Amino acid sequence: MKEVSIFFFKTYLFIVPISLLALAGIWALIWWTYYNFKSVIQIIYNVIIPKIIRKLDKSLPEKYGRWAVITGSTDGIGKQYAFELAKRGMNIVLISRTESKLIEVAQKIESTYSVKTKYIAADFGSGKEIYEEIKQKLQMLDIGILVNNVGRMYDFPDDLDNVPEDLLWQIININVGAVTMMSRMVIPQMKVNRRGIIVNISSGSECQPTPLMTVYAASKTYLRNFTLALNKELEESNVEVQLVTPMFVQTKMNNFSSSVMEGGLLIPDVETYTSAAVFTLGKSSETTGYWCHGLQNGVMKLLPVHLRTICAFRMNKKFRDSYHEQFTV
């Protein structure tokens, strides 16, 4: 009898640690899967749940406020955000560098939708001096949404010491300075109103060090950490901050690559992408904005960071070679 008791005691000592390890492994696998694929999981969730649980959602103006401010709003994703938000009843403030383009986009929005528009011509690459004028022009408006979309990329992938110094300062002033100062500008009013959302458009290059786009990718890593920290910081004020991380989209920012601009299943056109991204507004604090980009992001994260860095380096080498072949006579 004593030997049987000892046997069962030893078996218990063996099984319990194994069971705990198995539970820990299952728990780690669940969270690992969610972390890597949470963007696509959230998109699916937000499509399915409204079909199961019927509820009357507030319109964007009711939920956040009457006006949406979009930086970098005369081309690409920023321009499409302006149209998508106008379609949902938001009045639009367009901020970009070229006044003629601003007027054209503003007129198109007002002729298409029953909303008001304003525009501010500002070059975010100029640095600190532009923000006081922007602040004065925005101070009387009920700003509910800020889309920090303006960004500057390399003209094509290249070594840091080959990139013009002026371009590097533009990238820093635009990609880091604009998102910081524009967010700081609208937060006080949003805190008082206890509503509002700041949408920061990042890039898939934030996910790992990206050689040959070193400064651009580093600026997007700043944007990621800035956004997620600010979201937590403003949580008690009922103000949301959303990180949107697109992969490749057919925009002029990617003109250096003819293969990217051809598009495809993995590379949507800007209208398709932005429509999907705006759908996630207020539904998730962190998203790729598009189901296919969510899958790409998740699969990419299956690789260790150093392998992703190597892959990014090789891809950008090919982009650089292709650019030189295409544009160098």
Q: Which of the residues are catalytic?
A: 216
The rounded Cα 67 to chain-centroid distance in angstroms is 20
For residue 159, CA distances in Å to 21, 168, 279, 308, 320 come to 46, 12, 37, 18, 10
SS (H, E, C) 113-176: CCCCEEEEECCHHHCHHHHHHHHHHHCCCCEEEEEECCCCCCCCCCCHHHCCHHHHHHHHHHHH
- Report CA torsion sign: 313, 316, 322, 323: negative
* Distance from chain centroid for Cα 264: 20
> From CA 309, how far away is CA 8, in angstroms rounded?
51
What helix, strand, coil percent values describe the chain, rounded to 5?
A: 60, 10, 25
The whole-angstrom distance between residue 74's C-alpha and the CA centroid of its chain comes to: 18
Q: How many residues does the chain have?
A: 329
Helix (H) or strand (E) holding 91: strand 91-96
Centroid of chain to Cα 173: 18
